[in-house]
């Protein structure tokens, strides 16, 4: 029996290590953000919100944004600060002195996070590209007949009479199997 059987679920708040918790993060950073640094102190009361944000929300940020580098610096600055470096060399500085973790969360989401409209547009674009059942104008396939295993277009190859509805429903047709005799 392994010695560290329950090591994964030990420590303070082991729920932070579950996949369901990590996927529950609500902040997706903009594409321009490359590095996010968080500065906070261990024992100052005004840094309590920053400590809690790092403890509860930083793992979700890291999981939702794998292309961004995240750094934390403890006992380095006198005030808690979040600093984001953009790809064009600019810095975004957020002073989070004496804020709760929820206030910090909302501020990060509004300042360097993607808006609801952008997230919705990306979800629609991802759905339309990823779904192979879509066809028509603006999609990779113009017609369903281009999918292997489907019946060819009726304007190119006519359907057999057995596959036509009017063949069965028209009792006056000469070739109909339902013809009254």
State the total domains in the chain.
2
pLDDT, position 2: 54
pLDDT, position 40: 93
pLDDT, position 1: 46
**Could you tell me the two tokens for 172?**
């006056």
- Mean of the per-residue pLDDT values of the chain: 85
**3 lies in some domain:** no
Mean pLDDT of 109-119: 95
**29 lies in some domain:** yes
pLDDT, position 124: 84
Mean pLDDT of 82-88: 97
* Pair (101, 161) in one structural domain: no
Residues 139, 109: Cα–Cα separation, whole Å: 33
Provide Rg for the chain, Cα atoms: 30
In degrees, rounded to 5, the angle at the alpha carbon of residue 178 between the alpha carbons of residues 174 and 181 is 70
Q: What is the pLDDT of residues 28-67, one digit of tens each?
A: 999 999 999 999 998 889 899 999 999 999 999 999 999 9
* Pair (96, 20) in one structural domain: yes
* Pair (104, 40) in one structural domain: yes
Sequence length of the chain is 181
**5 lies in some domain:** no
* Pair (23, 91) in one structural domain: yes
**Could you tell me the two tokens for 75?**
């006992």
Beta strands in the chain, from DSSP E residues, in sequence order:
33-40, 69-74, 81-86, 91-95
Of the candidates 143, 125, 122, the residue with the CA atom closest to the CA atom of residue 134: 143
Mean pLDDT of 148-159: 80
For residue 39, give its domain range: 14-115
**Could you tell me the two tokens for 13?**
């708040």
Of the candidates 1, 96, 104, the residue with the CA atom closest to the CA atom of residue 47: 96
Residues 111, 56: Cα–Cα separation, whole Å: 19
**33 lies in some domain:** yes
Looking at residue 113, the DSSP 8-state letter turns out to be B
pLDDT, position 162: 73
pLDDT, position 135: 79
Mean pLDDT of 155-165: 76
* Pair (50, 101) in one structural domain: yes
Better pLDDT: 77 or 153: 77
* Pair (92, 21) in one structural domain: yes
**2 lies in some domain:** no
Is residue 90 within 8 Å of residue 134, measured between CB atoms? Answer: no
Burial class (CB in 10 A: 0-12, 13-18, 19+), 96: buried
Q: Phi/psi at 73 (nearest 5 deg)?
A: -125, 120
Is residue 60 within 8 Å of residue 19, measured between CB atoms? Answer: no
pLDDT, position 176: 52
**153 lies in some domain:** yes
* Pair (107, 154) in one structural domain: no
* Pair (105, 141) in one structural domain: no
Per cent of the chain over pLDDT 70 is 84
CATH number, domain with residue 66:
3.40.30.10
**164 lies in some domain:** yes
């Amino acid at each position: 029996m392994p010695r560290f059987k329950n090591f994964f679920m030990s420590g303070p708040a082991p729920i932070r290590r579950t996949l369901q918790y990590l996927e529950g993060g609500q902040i997706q950073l903009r594409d321009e953000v490359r590095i996010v640094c968080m500065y906070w102190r261990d024992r100052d009361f005004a840094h309590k919100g920053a400590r809690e944000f790092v403890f509860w929300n930083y793992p979700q940020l890291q999981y939702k944004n794998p292309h961004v580098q995240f750094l934390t610096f403890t006992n380095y600055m006198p005030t808690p600060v979040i600093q984001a470096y953009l790809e064009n060399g600019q810095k975004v500085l957020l002073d989070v002195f004496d804020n709760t973790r929820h206030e910090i969360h909302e501020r990060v989401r509004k300042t360097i996070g993607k808006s609801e409209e952008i997230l919705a547009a990306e979800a629609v674009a991802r759905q339309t590209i990823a779904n192979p059942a879509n066809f028509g104008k603006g999609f990779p396939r113009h017609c369903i007949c281009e999918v292997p295993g489907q019946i060819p277009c009726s304007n190119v190859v006519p359907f057999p009479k057995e596959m036509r509805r009017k063949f069965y429903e028209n009792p006056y047709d000469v070739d109909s199997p339902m013809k009254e005799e």
